[in-house]
Amino acid sequence: FEDTRSITEPSGALAVAGAKKYLAERGLEGENVVAITSGANMNFDKLRLVASRSGSGEREEAMLVSTIPEARGEFKKFMNILSEVGHIKRGTGRGDDRAITEFKYRYNHRMDAESGDAVVFYSVDTANREDADSLVSELNTAGLSTVDLSKNELAKTHVRFLAGGGGTLEDERVFRVQFPEKPGSLRRFLDVVGGKYNMSLFHYRFTGEMTGNVLVGVRPLKADQVSEFMSDMGTLGWFFEDVTDDPACQL
C-alpha cells in the first residue's frame, strides 16, 4: 500500500510477502521481481483485520510489555527511559523520535501484593526487525524488563484488549478456540461446555476471517478434569489448545 496505494486481499498479499522474503534472505537489491496479486475478496471487515495486523507484520510496529515498580513517579521514569533510549535507528546518528501507537495500564492488586510491580502494555513504531530487537535490548539494559510480543498470536488477537487488572483464580485453565464464523456456532459451543463447566473468561472479536477466535477461561478445572474437558471439546471438531502457560496469559 505504501508503494502503490493498492490494497490486496490477504491471500493476494502472500505473493508480495514471499518475494520480499526471497530478496531479503539472498541480499538482493535492484532486481526486477514480479508478484501476482489480487484484491477481489477484500471488504471492510477484512480491511479492519489488515489494518490492525499490517504494522506488526512488517515490524513497523512493535508490541511490547514492560514491568515497572508499582509506585508513585515510576510511570514518569518509564516514559523518560523510553524517550531516552527509544529512538528509531535509521542509518547513523541519534535517529527520529519514536511514536507510541498504543498504551494500556491498569492497577493489578495481585501483582502489586506479590511483587510490588506493574505491567504496561504498549506498541511503538519501528524501522525494521533489527530496530525493534535493538529497542528491546536497550530497554532491558536500562533496567526495564521488556518482552516483545509482536509475533505472539494470543497477544495480538486477545490479550491486547484484556491486559491489566487480572487476578489469580485457583484451578483455572485458559483455552484458545477457533470456531466457524457463522450463526449458531456460539450456541453449539455452549451446548457442549456451558452447562457442565464454569467459564471465568470469554473474549471474542469479529475480524472478518472465516474462523473466529475465542479466548475461554474455565474453572475450577483440576488436573484430573482436563482430559475430560479436552474430550468434550473434541466432539465439536474445532481447533483448540490449552494456552494457560503462554506468557501472554500472565498479563
pLDDT tens digits for range 3-50: 777 777 777 778 888 888 899 899 888 888 888 887 777 776 677 666
Mean pLDDT for the chain overall: 80
Check residue 92 and give its pLDDT: 39
Q: Give pLDDT tens digits for 216-232.
A: 888 888 888 899 999 99
**What digits encode the pLDDT tens for the residues 52-66?**
666 555 547 788 999
Confidence of residue 146 (pLDDT cuts 50, 70, 90): very high
pLDDT for residue 234: 92
Burial environment of residue 13 by CB neighbours within 10 A (0 to 12, 13 to 18, 19 or more):
buried
Query: 176: part of which helix (H) or strand (E)?
Result: strand 173-180
pTM above 0.85, yes or no: no
Q: In this structure, what DSSP letter does residue 183 have?
A: T
Give the sheet arrangement for strand 100-105, strand by strand.
100-105, 117-125, 61-69, 145-148
Specify the higher pLDDT residue, 36 or 175. 175
C-alpha cell at 151: 509475533
On the 0-12 / 13-18 / 19+ scale of CB atoms within 10 A, 207 is: middle
